[in-house]
Structure 1
Amino acid sequence: MRRLPPMGALRAFEAGARHLNFTLAAQELHVTQAAISHQVRQLETALGAPLFERRGHALTLTAAGRRYRDRIADALDLIGAATAEVRAPEAGPLHLTVLPSLAACWLLPRLPRFYAAVPGVDVRVTSAVALWDFTDDRFDLALRSGLGGWPGAEAVRLGGESLVPACTPAVAATLQTPADLTRVRLVSDTPKQNWRRWFAVAGQTIPSLSPTVYDDAALVIQDAVQGGCVALVRRSLAADALADGRLVTPFIPDLPSDYSYWLVWKARAREHPSAPLFRDWLLAEARSSFGS
């Protein structure tokens, strides 16, 4: 096998040939002008031919230098491109788009556990109701509620959800049967017919309902915690408030939701280096939080 010249000497020659100035070549490669001159002289010795003509401060390529420049330029470009493909990308922040209610009630309280388990990963959370357009390169992952099947994306199901009446212990003390719910202010998020569906599952026929309707599940939970209403909350999102006693469930049953929670990412996209670590952690958290 032929012995190749050192890569540093080839880069020094190529930069000098482009600039026809060793000082500018040295600035580009972040070395000294003396280092460029030394590497070029080593290359000329190895090749047995002068590559530059030096006349005072003027620098020109010899005929051999021009031929050598033309032959190695494409090769150096190929080496640079191959190196960029193989080299591990700099991690940078992991960008995540999340439904506002899911971010406020579920993800953010648990995120410190991820930082403790995987130090050094910077997760940037953007809360947004709008679905992620997968041609948008701002995000690496998305947390969404839906039926699944997003075109152009891969997804893993985190778990299901159910709806359950919840209120403060003080409000619950005033309720004896599900029919008593018609005497208090009812709250839900969209769609508003969820309360009617719950009454049907509970075996109650309610002629008319006018619940307070919010467009965000987190607002439903917050209203219930403030007292004075009974909210049809998403059990997984209200889990912390139910666990610490701020909310109680005065009646059963739960109403299963048609939607599930999903972790979504672009199909066939080059992954952020930290994305698999975050996915694994999120799936472990979901197993202890969401229904089947």
Structure 2
Amino acid sequence: MARRALPSINALRAFEAFARHGRMTLAADELCVTHGAISRQIRQLEEQLGVALTEGPRSRLRMTPEGLKLAQALSPAFDQIEAAVPRPPQVGPRPLVVSCLPTFAMKWLIPRLPRFQAAHPEVPVRVAESNGAFDYRADGIDLAIRMRALGAIYPQDSNVTPFMEHFHGPVMSPEVAASVKPTLEAICALPRLHTRTFPESWSDWARKIPVELPEPASHQEFDHYFYMIEAAVAGLGVAMCPWAFVQRDLISGRLTAPLGFVVGEASIVALTPLADATEHALLFRDWLVAEGRSTPTPPEAACDSAVGR
């Protein structure tokens, strides 16, 4: 077998972590290294490949199209490696296993998780990122977080608890927003970004406005929300995103939402077994409900007021 011509695995890990989080500091926290170490690894990777993977000022670094392509291949590859790595037998209390949408875990749940751990240090929590079908017993899941869309199917033995409204709206980079007129028609005609996780997001939003969507300049689909978000940051088009996923990116200025947000037809829900939910699962569910109530609501849709049609 020919020797694999792969760059440094550490550099690939650093870049993949940055790609998922969109920020060097968060990637550094995940890998327990410094911000500078992540930056050096990515710079070395670019030099080795002879391709720019990132661009923009250090305060708003974003991926290039080549970087996005590489990142989308790296994440499932690292997921497969992680799943195949043998683990020692569990020592100590069994963790509460929470199956969660990957982007929701990164952008909303994990930043709030320290509050739960501080209040309940006796309840270890393991977040398992997934947006697919699951079985409580077979997969060892205590609670699942999903986006409940019209016609969604969950295990029949589930107790479904909505804990947050699903606000969503079109987001894009400030540079893209500045290049077009701030009208609904102009923004909707931009290259349109989609995710396989929730393909009906654009049609859901259009029904709520209401508006008939014009044909965009182009379509591009991504496997996960976090890559679609980074594609929007990179200026590849306009993405329909949940408020919970992009709140921090809007505050930091990486993204802008000139049309505001509307309440979607989906909702974000906690799923627990109907008959034998554990005490810790119910405790976590109630905490999610409280956190959902305390999450700030987004700016309302501006389609009929500040933004002209």
**Is the structural similarity TM-score above 0.5?**
yes
2:131 paired residue number: 129
Q: Are the equivalent residues in 2 in contact too, given 1:140–1:266 (CA < 8 A)?
A: yes
Map 1:135-154; keep pairs closer than 5 Å: 135-136=137-138, 138-147=140-149, 150-154=155-159
Map 1:1-292; keep pairs closer than 5 Å: 91-136=93-138, 138-147=140-149, 150-176=155-181, 177-181=183-187, 184-190=190-196, 192=199, 194-195=201-202, 198=205, 201=209, 203=211, 206-207=214-215, 210-252=218-260, 254-269=261-276, 271=278, 273-289=279-295
Return the letter of the residue paired with 1:120: E
Instruction: Tell me how far 1:244 sits from its aligned partner.
Output: 2.6
Give the structure with higher Rg (CA): 1
Instruction: Tell me how far 1:204 sits from its aligned partner.
Output: 5.4
Give the total of aligned pairs.
201
Q: How far apart, CA to CA, are the structure 2 residues paired with 1:265 and 1:275?
A: 7
1:34 paired residue number: none
Q: How far apart, CA to CA, are the structure 2 residues paired with 1:186 and 1:155?
A: 32
Q: How far apart, CA to CA, are the structure 1 residues paired with 2:296 and 2:147?
A: 12
Alpha-carbon distance change, 240 to 279 in structure 1, aligned in 2, over 3 angstroms: same
Return the letter of the residue paired with 1:230: V
Deviation readout 1:213-263 (Å, 9 max, x if unpaired):
2232222222222334221111222122123322111224x3543221111
Which region of structure 1 is more displaced relative to structure 2, 119-128 or 208-217? Answer: 208-217
Q: Are the equivalent residues in 1 in contact too, given 2:171–2:240 (CA < 8 A)?
A: yes
SS at match of 1:171: helix
Which region of structure 1 is more displaced relative to structure 2, 273-282 or 191-200? Answer: 191-200
Alpha-carbon distance change, 101 to 270 in structure 1, aligned in 2, over 3 angstroms: closer
Return the letter of the residue paired with 1:236: A
Deviation readout 1:72-123 (Å, 9 max, x if unpaired):
xxxxxxxxxxxxxxxxxx8421111112122122211221222222223210
SS at match of 2:97: strand
SS at match of 2:136: coil
Alpha-carbon distance change, 202 to 134 in structure 1, aligned in 2, over 3 angstroms: same
Runs of at least 4 residues of structure 1 off by over 6 A? none
Q: Are the equivalent residues in 2 in contact too, given 1:241–1:247 (CA < 8 A)?
A: yes
Q: Are the equivalent residues in 2 in contact too, given 1:161–1:291 (CA < 8 A)?
A: no
Instruction: Tell me how far 1:141 sits from its aligned partner.
Output: 1.0
Q: How far apart, CA to CA, are the structure 1 residues paired with 2:257 and 2:186?
A: 14
Q: Are the equivalent residues in 2 in contact too, given 1:166–1:230 (CA < 8 A)?
A: yes
SS at match of 2:284: helix
Which region of structure 1 is more displaced relative to structure 2, 145-154 or 95-104? Answer: 145-154
Return the letter of the residue paired with 2:288: L
Q: Are the equivalent residues in 1 in contact too, given 2:190–2:238 (CA < 8 A)?
A: yes
